[in-house]
Amino acid sequence: QGEKFTVYGNQIILSAGAVASPQLLMLSGIGPADQLTSLGIDVVKDNPGVGANLRDHPIMSALWTVKEGHIQDPGAPRTQVAARYTATGSEIRNDMKLSFNSFAIADSRIEDRLSESSQSHHADINTPIGVKISVSLQLAESVGHLRLVSSDINEQPELNFNYYSTEFDLERGREGMRKAINLGESNHFSDIISQRLQPTDVDLSNDHKLDDWILRNATTGQHISGTCKMGPDSDELAVVNQFGDVRGTTNLKVIDASIMPDCIRANTNATTMMIAERMIDLI
């Protein structure tokens, strides 16, 4: 506990994930020189790409209460069906996903809204407040960034996801949310669905209001990636090459979700494992 020691190796492989890998590189002096210098960290290698390419699958949900008599079993699988499709006018195949969740629970924002309208609720994973359809942007145009706020490893870096910051992303988000609501309120679900809790009819009344709602409600799809991205030397934001070697260093690799150049159009776990398998084959 609290002991400090030095470990030597011929080949160092950093696999701390898309938040901690860029943080550890920066704490070790590899990252954007201006950021490191401002925190008193000696620059070993100036690389503006470390932390610069924060990617994710932003997600937001339409939420309904259920009709009396509709039983919601806390032990049953909650998300078993998803619809993948290509947004209108998009050239990116399968860039959208709708996930159907049969057991929605309150998060803090929903809790706040329900308490404003004095509806009863319980923020508990075994107490449903309804059902939801989540809209997830599978290949966003918007890019965020991760920045160190301190040279202390125990201080979490700042994550600015910058979700829905381009018109194309907003267009796809609006269409996705409207599709989710049309599906949820179609005859197919009329035996289940009672009243929509979010977004409200006012939120949906025009594009501007819906954009505002999206910007307040889009959150992480838990697929953080891209913060030490792989790329050719010609890309000044590339952090590692095709072997995972950190540019401008020797015997140092990063192998985890942070090296994805963009967030893949699927959940990220299996691909991260396959990246690791492939990289190890190449050593």
- Positions annotated as catalytic residues are 223
What sign for the dihedral angle of Cα 86, 90, 95, 100? negative
By beta-carbon proximity to ligand FAD, the closer residue of 19 and 214 is 19
By beta-carbon proximity to ligand FAD, the closer residue of 82 and 83 is 82
How far is it, in rounded angstroms, from Cα 72 to Cα 168?
37
What sign for the dihedral angle of Cα 99, 143, 47, 43? negative
Q: Which of 58, 148, 268, 279 binds ligand FAD (CB under 6 A)?
A: 268
13 binds ligand FAD (CB under 6 A): no
Q: Which of 134, 138, 227, 272 binds ligand FAD (CB under 6 A)?
A: 272
Cis peptide before 199 (omega within 30 of 0): yes
Calculate helix-pair angle for 167-184, 207-217, nearest 10 degrees.
Answer: 90
How far is it, in rounded angstroms, from Cα 16 to Cα 256?
7
Residues 111-150 interacting with ligand FAD (rule: CB under 6 A): none
Q: Which of 13, 15, 92, 113 binds ligand FAD (CB under 6 A)?
A: 15
By beta-carbon proximity to ligand FAD, the closer residue of 203 and 245 is 245
101 binds ligand FAD (CB under 6 A): no
60 binds ligand FAD (CB under 6 A): no
172 binds ligand FAD (CB under 6 A): no
Q: Which of 257, 263, 264, 279 binds ligand FAD (CB under 6 A)?
A: 257
By beta-carbon proximity to ligand FAD, the closer residue of 137 and 257 is 257
Burial label for 53, CB within 10 Å (0-12, 13-18, 19+), is buried
Task: Give the interface size with ligand FAD as a residue count (CB under 6 A).
Answer: 14
Q: Which of 222, 242, 243, 278 binds ligand FAD (CB under 6 A)?
A: 222
205 binds ligand FAD (CB under 6 A): no
Task: From 104-112, 182-190, 193-201, 269-277, give the range in contact with ligand FAD by CB under 6 A.
Answer: 269-277
**Residue type present at position 226:** G
Footprint on this chain of ligand FAD (rule: CB under 6 A): 15-18, 20, 222-223, 256-257, 267-270, 272
